[in-house]
Amino acid sequence: MKNNHSKSEAILSSAAQIIRKEGVARLTLEAVAKHAGVSKGGLLYHFSSKDDLIKAMVTKLMVSFDTGVQARIEADNIETGRSSRAYVEDTFDYLNSDQDVSPGLLAAIATNPELLTIIQQSFAKWQNQIENDGIDPVKATIIRLASDGLWLSDLFGLAPIDENLQKKVKEELISMTRGI
C-alpha cells in the first residue's frame, strides 16, 4: 500500500514539474508517465484520466493548505485574529517551501474550469473563518487578499519580492491581525 501511495505522489510531482517547466499544454498522460517512470497503464491505475490527475493535484493543495491553517488555529492561544494569522503564516510557509502542487491550479483553470469548484469551496470556508475572527472583517479580508496576492505573484513569477521585503510584509500582516 505504501508503494502505491509513493507512486501516486511521484505521478503528482511529475505532473507539477511538467506544468512548471513546459506549461499546461505539455501536460499529457504520456508525458507524466514517462517523467514519473511508470507505464501509461500504471498511471491510469492511479488516475483514470487527465482530469482525475489534475483534480488530485488541486485537492492535494487545498487539503494540505487547510490542514496547515487548521493546525495553526488550534495552536494559537490568542483567539482574536488567529484564523487570519494562521492563513498568513501558512501562505508564507508555502511560499518558502518546495511544494510543487500549485501548478495544478493552472492546469485546472486551463483545462477544466469546473475543477475550480474545489478551490472556490476552500476559499469560501477560509473567508468565512477570517470574517468571524474577532477582528474587523474588512481588515481580515485585506490580510487574506494580500496573502493570496503574494502567493499568486510567486506562482506566476510576477515581480517576486526579495526575502527581506517578504519578511516585512508578513510581519505587517501579522501585526494587523493583532490590531497593532
**What tens digit of pLDDT does each residue of 162-174 get?**
889 999 999 999 9
Hey, how many other C-beta atoms are within 10 angstroms of the C-beta on 66?
A: 14
3-state secondary structure 14-70: HHHHHHHHHCHHHCCHHHHHHHHCCCHHHHHHHCCCHHHHHHHHHHHHHHHHHHHHH
Residue boundaries of the structural domains of the chain: 50-177
Q: In this structure, which CATH number among 1.10.287, 1.10.357, 3.40.50, 1.10.3470 belongs to the domain 50-177?
A: 1.10.357
Q: Which residue has the cell 500500500?
A: 1
**What tens digit of pLDDT does each residue of 44-88 get?**
999 999 889 988 888 888 888 899 999 999 999 999 999 999 999
